[in-house]
Amino acid sequence: MKNRADLSKWIKAQARELGFEACGIAKADFLEKEASVFEKWLRAGMHGKMSYMENHFEKRLDPRKLMQGAKSVIVFLYNYSPKKKLQENNNYILSKYAYGKDYHFVIKNKLKTLITLMKEYAGEINARAFVDSAPVLEKAWAGRAGLGWIGKNANFIVPKAGSFYFISEIITDLELEYDKPANSNLCGSCRKCIDACPTEAIVAPGVIDAQKCISYLTIEFKDQIPDAFKGKFKDRIFGCDICQDVCPWNRFSKSHKEPDFYPHPDIENMIKEDWENLSEDQFKEIFRKSAVKRTKYKGLMRNICFVKNKL
């Protein structure tokens, strides 16, 4: 068995080879600080109708309950900042993370490759990959692994790199060399994200009331969008990047180099009329491999109608 320092160094090198922007490692342990904060958020009902957030409470806070014998949480960041935004003039707006192929599959495949390499290099080990689809408090672990901090907009911010990153993890029974947690919050007195949110969803620094969040309302929320939000979506029909776009740290963002995240060619030149006349068959074809399919055709057209009839 390789020693902890060599193993950790090797894993980080392999992560870079696979295209990850950063990799940090934390000890698999109970997230004591986050437990009370998360419980308070749930009790306040700020998760809206995302009832799944209430499930597996203990697993969300302790990776050892997710995988028997877990000793390390390896955290990865993958850039999705586009070189060029899709046109926004006379157009409906998608969140940047949804321009191309569904990140769940793109990143999960890379983590599976890395796990295979780890087993070849380190011998018989146990490891599980997670990409925003299991009870894992990803931003908390990214902080524990020394990669950055959770900003006032509740997004994870990487020093001098911004927040346009997907976070993923490998939980393993390997004992590794752990990185120093990122204790610094470098938002300072800035409140640009709080002031820019058109629905006032950032109710306190780092606290989002999902019931007011455009991302939640256009993706997770399945009922009729309340009239109180009319005129506030600013042409957004899937997700929202407003609080990230105004963040000063994102002036350091560099464009990604992942071909799978390039926009689907059929949406590059679309205008509002094209979206409004989109058929269900077109939706299925264009968004077959996209995160946008999460809304389903009915949900996307609901969003378009809501934004169109904003007055």
Mean pLDDT for back-to-back runs of 10 residues, the chain (311 residues): 89 98 97 93 94 88 94 98 95 97 97 97 94 90 96 96 98 97 87 98 97 98 96 97 98 97 95 97 96 97 92 48
Cα(209)–Cα(221) distance, rounded to whole angstroms?
A: 13
Cα(108)–Cα(76) distance, rounded to whole angstroms?
A: 11
pLDDT 10s digits, 69-121: 999 999 999 999 999 999 999 999 999 999 999 999 999 999 999 999 999 99
pLDDT of residue 41: 95
3-class secondary-structure state, position 128: strand
Tell which CATH architecture fits domain 4-83+100-172: 3-Layer(aba) Sandwich (3.40)
- The residue type found at 121 is Y
The residue length of the chain stands at 311
Contacts of 108 (CB under 8 A, 6+ apart): 129, 131, 168
Cα(200)–Cα(203) distance, rounded to whole angstroms?
A: 7
Neighbours of 143 (CB within 10 A): 25
Two structure tokens written together for 44: 């306040």
- The residue type found at 262 is Y
| Beta carbons of 209 and 163 less than 8 angstroms apart | no
Cα(100)–Cα(260) distance, rounded to whole angstroms?
A: 6
pLDDT of residue 135: 85
Cα(71)–Cα(69) distance, rounded to whole angstroms?
A: 6
pLDDT of residue 1: 60
- Choose the catalytic residue: 6, 62, 102, 132: 132
* Global pTM exceeds 0.85: yes
Task: Write down the domain spans for the chain.
Answer: 4-83+100-172, 192-253+265-308
Is 132 an annotated catalytic residue?
yes
pLDDT of residue 310: 63
